[in-house]
Structure 1
Amino acid sequence: MTPAAPLVDARGLTKRYGTLTVLSGLDLRVEAGEALGIIGPNGAGKSTLLGLLSGSVRATSGRLEYRGDDITRRPAAWRARQGIATSFQIPRPFAGMTVMENMLVAASFAGGARGSTAQTRAIEALSRTGLDAQANVAAGSLRLLDRKRLEVARALAANPRLLLLDEIAGGLTEAEVPELVELVREVLAAGVTVVWIEHVVHALTAVATRMMCLTYGEVIAVGSPDEVMANPRVKSVYLGIDPEEDEDA
């Protein structure tokens, strides 16, 4: 029996802006149902990678497959309708609309649903993210944590198979981070695959089944969260720990 294709299979992905290479020949496989955490210093190419997956950034070279199909040149809107959704660090709701109206827009335009199907998806996403009681509240009046919940809920309303999370813990207090972690766990429990870029490492390690560290557009470590965080190059490049000093500690 032929093994099932990974949900995402990227080979040799490269992105250049003129003479600047942001990503260089990156290979990446993401299996359905896993949570891949991506770390790296600023400028490592993390957000560019997320853009290549979502379609908001066009690869200079390389190939990207999704569910076994080549989507390298497919635009972001097409990918959204095929189940690739993104939740951003800075929430971008329609501030003058209610939470429910925001959800219906996401279900209809990103998810391609109509009528009662769109309403059902919107209600289910609100329930899963704990926003039921705020359905009729203006999105612009929500506190930051709830705006981040709404950002994730809008992505879920599009009925995704793959959810790309871009530093969504940024700006939250330590007390709010566990609530966000539980939200991501709910997303995984719903059968959605997650690729999460994050600087709040303890949030990421609480959820990720696998991690990757990038620097200067190249992968320097891939493995379990414990393996990656213990990697000497990761400690040096990302955590600023001298491996020799760490051994002497």
Structure 2
Amino acid sequence: MNVPLLSLSAITKRFGGVTALKDVTFDVQQGEIVGLMGPNGAGKTTLLNIIAGEFPPDSGRIKFKGRDITGHASYKSCKYGISRTYQIPQPFVSLSVMDNIRVSSTFGKKHGESSAGIDFDKILDMAGLLEKKDTLAGALPILSLKKLELARALACNPDLVLLDEVAAGLTDVEIPKILGTIKEIRSIGKTIVLVEHVIKVLVGAVDRIVVLDKGMTLCQGDADSVINDCKVIEAYFGT
């Protein structure tokens, strides 16, 4: 049996007296796009933060490519091959689009490696930003900022990309464009874990959905079965 690219086992996280995650367990295979879905406060972004190494779980184990990375700092996780985006884009606003991804590429390299082999133009072309490569990031509209987040994550040359609500704030016209970029990322062999509230993005992009509710795994499966699951409907709408 193939070793999962990412394996989460009984991940639990508490903040004071609040249990944000409890015994969350699932695997992600190489090449998959797995969606994380759930009501506000379900623990989705907290789980992404733990996978990325931004803070450790209180209990449970995280394995990446068979290696136990539980509690490792985010800079180490990035060097292992995990990159992420944020709900609110956080570019270097005074730098150009190109310089933003050049800076980001330094975080994903192993010590002593050069970024000379990274095709920055290809990354920007994939994100639909090549024509804006000399534009200051602070002058970009929201769709381009979202795409820049994706490009910065790719510049780290990751095996696993964690996407946190990349469609949030986009219009109905813009959503298919970001969905196309997600599919482009998958086409070059990247594995994706996607937190998203926009259902059409989940249905259009993912192979499988894991639903969290009150910090626990409610169910998982293909998009159609999950979205029509009575437990999921009750968690979202209370009926």
Provide, for residues 171-198 of structure 1, a one-character-per-residue CA deviation record: whole Å limited to 9, x for no partner.
1011000000000000000100010001
Distance (Å, rounded) in 2 between the aligned partners of 1:58 and 1:161 = 21
2:88 pairs with 1:93: no
> What SS does the corresponding residue of 2:119 show, helix, strand or coil?
helix
- When residues 149 and 23 of structure 1 are mapped into structure 2, their CA distance, relative to the original with a 3 A threshold, is same
Tell me what 1:247 maps to. Answer: none
Tell me what 2:24 maps to. Answer: 26
Q: Which residue, 204, 208, 211 being the options, matches 2:209?
A: 211
2:180 pairs with 1:187: no
Distance (Å, rounded) in 2 between the aligned partners of 1:202 and 1:77 = 33
Judge conservation of contact 2:55–2:71 (CA < 8 Å) in 1.
no
Tell me what 2:116 maps to. Answer: 116
Name stretches of at least 5 consecutive residues in structure 2 with no aligned partner.
none
Tell me what 1:61 maps to. Answer: 59
Tell me what 1:36 maps to. Answer: 34
Distance (Å, rounded) in 1 between the aligned partners of 2:45 and 2:11 = 14
The two structures have a TM-score, normalised by structure 2, of 0.96
Judge conservation of contact 1:107–1:122 (CA < 8 Å) in 2.
no
> What SS does the corresponding residue of 1:12 show, helix, strand or coil?
strand
Residues 58-207 of structure 1: matches in 2 within 5 Å? 58-112=56-110, 113-117=113-117, 120-207=118-205
Judge conservation of contact 2:53–2:77 (CA < 8 Å) in 1.
yes
Provide, for residues 36-78 of structure 1, a one-character-per-residue CA deviation record: whole Å limited to 9, x for no partner.
0111111101111101110112100011100001000211000
Provide, for residues 150-181 of structure 1, a one-character-per-residue CA deviation record: whole Å limited to 9, x for no partner.
00001001101000000110110110000000
- When residues 115 and 202 of structure 1 are mapped into structure 2, their CA distance, relative to the original with a 3 A threshold, is closer
Judge conservation of contact 2:75–2:107 (CA < 8 Å) in 1.
no
Shift in Å at residue 89 of structure 1?
1.4
Shift in Å at residue 241 of structure 1?
6.0
2:218 pairs with 1:226: no
> What SS does the corresponding residue of 1:42 show, helix, strand or coil?
coil
- Give the percent of matched residue pairs that are identical in Structure 1 and Structure 2: 36
Distance (Å, rounded) in 1 between the aligned partners of 2:41 and 2:50 = 15
One-letter code aligned to 2:70: T
Judge conservation of contact 2:105–2:115 (CA < 8 Å) in 1.
no
Distance (Å, rounded) in 1 between the aligned partners of 2:79 and 2:37 = 28
Shift in Å at residue 122 of structure 1?
2.1
CA RMSD after TM alignment: 1.1
Judge conservation of contact 2:109–2:115 (CA < 8 Å) in 1.
no
The two structures have a TM-score, normalised by structure 1, of 0.92
> What SS does the corresponding residue of 2:116 show, helix, strand or coil?
helix
